[in-house]
Amino acid sequence: MSRGRTWFEALAGATPEPVSVLCADGTVGGERTRFLVVVPNAEATFPRASGGELGLEEGWALARHVREAVAVDDGHRRALVAVVDVPGQPYGYREELLGLHLALAAAVDAYATARLAGHPVVALVVGQAISGAFLAHGMQANRIL
């Protein structure tokens, strides 16, 4: 089990199905919080991202989960906690050809949009925080711990 998944399960109190991006809502200090983490997934569509790297599907999934929180939070802005344990992004011809840069940019934009809309964004670095993966999942936070 990855360090990121261990922290996610401890914080969110959830054990989600095996996918590359885990998302769960919980509370911290009585405040609503959305927890997000990228984890290894041996069954990933793109094998280069099976070791926990932030790839095509992971970038788009992070963006979707963050934007969903922004869209449904009317008035009360929940905190977003990015649990960070990412060994990088998966370099490869297929990933680059299919728009890895766009998927990572979508995640960056979603986090930045949430932060600018008033959602507290916290990056909790519990493992690796390498390269473009950290830029897409953690660097847009108000606080990095």
Is pLDDT at 105 greater than 90 in this prediction? yes
Q: Which residue carries 């963050």 as its tokens?
A: 66
Read off the tokens for 61.
């999934």
Residue 15, amino acid: T
57 CB-contact burial (10 Å; exposed 0-12 / middle 13-18 / buried 19+): middle
Mean pLDDT of 84-100: 88
Phi, psi of 3 (to 5 degrees): -60, -40
- Which range is least confidently modeled, 26-35, 43-52, 74-83, 134-143? 43-52
Q: How confident is the model at residue 87 (pLDDT cuts 50, 70, 90)?
A: very high
What is the structure's pLDDT at 76? 86
The per-residue b/e assignment along 17-46, b for 16 or more CB within 10 angstroms, e otherwise, is eeebbbbbeeeeeeeebbbbbbbbbeebeb
Residue-wise pLDDT for 33-75, tens only, equals 999 999 999 888 888 788 999 999 999 999 999 999 999 987 7
- pLDDT at position 22 is 95
Is the pTM higher than 0.85? yes
